[in-house]
Amino acid sequence: MASGRVDLDGNPIKPITICMIGAGGFIGSHLCEKILAETPHKVLAVDVYSDKIKHLLEPSGSGSLPWADRIQFHRLNIKNDPRLEGLIKMADLIINLAAICTPADYNTRPLDTIYSNFIDALPVVKYCSENSKRLIHFSTCEIYGKTIGCFLPKDSPLRQDPAYFVLKEDASPCIFGPIEKQRWSYACAKQLIERLIYAEGAENGLEFTIVRPFNWIGPRMDFIPGIDGPSEGVPRVLACFSNNLLRREPLKLVDGGQSQRTFVYIKDAIEAVLLMIENPARANGHIFNVGNPNNEVTVRQLAEMMTQVYSKVSAEPPLDTPTIDVSSKEFYGEGYDDSDKRIPDMTIINRQLGWNPKTSLWDLLESTLTYQHRTYAEAIKKAISKPAAN
Ligand SMILES: NC(=O)c1ccc[n+]([C@@H]2O[C@H](COP(=O)([O-])OP(=O)(O)OC[C@H]3O[C@@H](n4cnc5c(N)ncnc54)[C@H](O)[C@@H]3O)[C@@H](O)[C@H]2O)c1
Ligand SMILES: O=C(O)[C@H]1O[C@H](OP(=O)(O)OP(=O)(O)OC[C@H]2O[C@@H](n3ccc(=O)[nH]c3=O)[C@H](O)[C@@H]2O)[C@H](O)[C@@H](O)[C@@H]1O
């Protein structure tokens, strides 16, 4: 099927076995889909959950899936399972996605956040280094923290100068708030594991690539509270706003929705990861920003655009009051803080892999909200009508 695949330098690509840890999550599910549909590679999928990749593991009707012999699911918790080392030994490449990565957890479950993002990743790095296995590790754009520009006076013209806000892998500092702002527990743990991986590369020759995703969004991201996740749970912004739209509730703008983000479509971002997988000579030893600098909005603008797009895909008029303001303390609790602005510099990924994002924010929201409406609208209607029926 995939015969004739060549890398960016024209060399044939050999089929490999990939141990993907966290394969059952949002990014993992899209990456598994892509690898199985478009490449000859095998996937050893490791996770505690498999719901998001069920369609890749079990045929919906009779007959078998075309990639049935190229994916195996291993249900295990990497915290405490001796099978992990064996799986790493069986693979040519290890991709580590496993993490707690929802901001609502960083200040309310800081210990779990630090353990998940640092301590639990340690054995993965160690086994890769000891067994000379290549590692692609998922870090985060949160590693940059706040921009230098946000510390300048509000009216300073330097705030408009990209040198004060564009985030560069090899030049920007990591600027976190004080320890009592436990929001930064995640970024700090991710930073330390990046430094450890980098040091393993420098001192012990570990072949690694570090990925810093900038707000990848799309279908299957997180959960809709009360439908496929806890009713009190707080997922990331795409799922929070989708949930509000599906339930015809105003979208909640934390601290006025002034923070800025750049959103990239998951399918664009997955193309970048596949280039890393298949071009080790160009990807090893590098840290890559993966985002879409052209898709910048404030959270308020995101809310307005999602409201418009959802009205189009659901054919329901928007609410008279589509948004409400809420304080971060009320929404996330004590210890929350925020990144002000996140624009990725794309020089390194462009130079090494020739990758560029393609999808506009409007288009990616249209396909994602079409999916959300199709997947959840009926279930939400039922959930809402239940108490009245009882
Ligand atoms: N989605 C984004 O835009 C984004 C942005 C920045 C960084 N990241 C990073 O990318 C990675 C994947 O993110 P995602 O959005 O797919 O998150 P996700 O929560 O959907 O996926 C993570 C998966 O890891 C699994 N996992 C967690 N701990 C585990 C353990 N101890 N043992 C086995 N499995 C475990 C979870 O069950 C989950 O399926 C994370 O490391 C995250 O920090 C994602
Ligand atoms: O996706 C990323 O690149 C990284 O950033 C995210 O952090 P953040 O962007 O702050 O998380 P979101 O939950 O997506 O929130 C985005 C913004 O929307 C705001 N928000 C969120 C939810 C909501 O209902 N209303 C609202 O105004 C938040 O306060 C924040 O300013 C998460 O930390 C990680 O998944 C990841 O590492």
pLDDT in tens, 11-62: 999 999 999 999 999 999 999 999 999 999 999 999 999 999 999 999 988 8
- pLDDT recorded at residue 217: 98
**What's the gap in Å between 254 CA and the centre of ligand 2?**
10
Token output for 173: 């500092």
**What's the gap in Å between 23 CA and the centre of ligand 1?**
8
- Tens-place pLDDT, residues 69-100: 999 999 999 999 999 999 999 999 999 999 99
Q: Burial code of 119-142, b = ≥16 C-beta within 10 A, e = fewer?
A: ebbebbbebbbeeebbbbbbbbbb
Our mutation pick for probing the ligand 1 site, out of 19, 20, 21, 26, counting the most ligand atoms within 8 A of Cβ, is 26
Stretch (H or E) spanning 74:
strand 71-75
For ligand 2, which residues put their CB under 6 angstroms from it?
101, 103, 140-142, 186, 213-215, 236-237, 240, 252-254, 257, 259, 261, 299, 338
Question: Alpha-carbon distance 40 to 1, whole Å?
Answer: 7
Say if 339 falls within a structural domain: yes
Tell me the Cα Rg of the chain. 21
Q: With 60 as the cut, is the pLDDT of residue 345 above it? A: yes
Q: What ipTM was reported for this prediction?
A: 0.99
Say if 197 falls within a structural domain: yes
Question: Alpha-carbon distance 296 to 132, whole Å?
Answer: 40
**pLDDT bucket at 3, cuts 50 / 70 / 90:** low
Is 47 near ligand 1, meaning CB less than 6 Å away? yes
Question: Alpha-carbon distance 148 to 172, whole Å?
Answer: 9
- Tens-place pLDDT, residues 213-260: 999 999 999 999 999 999 999 999 999 999 999 999 999 999 999 999
- Tens-place pLDDT, residues 166-186: 999 999 999 999 999 999 999
Say if 323 falls within a structural domain: yes
For residue 270, give the ligand nearest its CA: 1
Q: Within a 10 A sphere around the Cβ of 330, how many other Cβ atoms?
A: 12
Say if 75 falls within a structural domain: no
- pLDDT recorded at residue 62: 84
Q: Within a 10 A sphere around the Cβ of 203, how many other Cβ atoms?
A: 9
Domain holding 297, by residue range, is 99-378
- pLDDT recorded at residue 61: 87
Q: With 60 as the cut, is the pLDDT of residue 314 above it? A: yes
- Tens-place pLDDT, residues 269-286: 999 999 999 999 999 999
Low-confidence winner among 41-55, 282-296, 306-320, 376-390 (lowest mean pLDDT): 376-390
Say if 383 falls within a structural domain: no
Say if 51 falls within a structural domain: no
**What's the gap in Å between 129 CA and the centre of ligand 2?**
33
For residue 337, give the ligand nearest its CA: 2
Q: With 80 as the cut, is the pLDDT of residue 370 above it? A: yes
Average pLDDT of the chain is: 97
- Tens-place pLDDT, residues 58-67: 998 888 999 9
CB 125 within 8 A of CB 86: no
Q: How many domains does the chain have?
A: 1
Alpha-carbon torsion 364, 288, 189, 98, what sign? Answer: positive
User: Of 242, 356, 241, 355, whose CA–CA distance to 300 is shortest?
Assistant: 241
- pLDDT recorded at residue 2: 47
Alpha-carbon torsion 171, 177, 179, 181, what sign? Answer: negative
For residue 138, give the ligand nearest its CA: 1
Q: Give the CATH number, domain containing residue 159.
A: 3.40.50.720
**What's the gap in Å between 338 CA and the centre of ligand 2?**
8
Say if 310 falls within a structural domain: yes
**pLDDT bucket at 209, cuts 50 / 70 / 90:** very high
Say if 43 falls within a structural domain: no
Q: What number is the average pLDDT over the span 141-157?
A: 97
Q: What number is the average pLDDT over the span 92-110?
A: 98
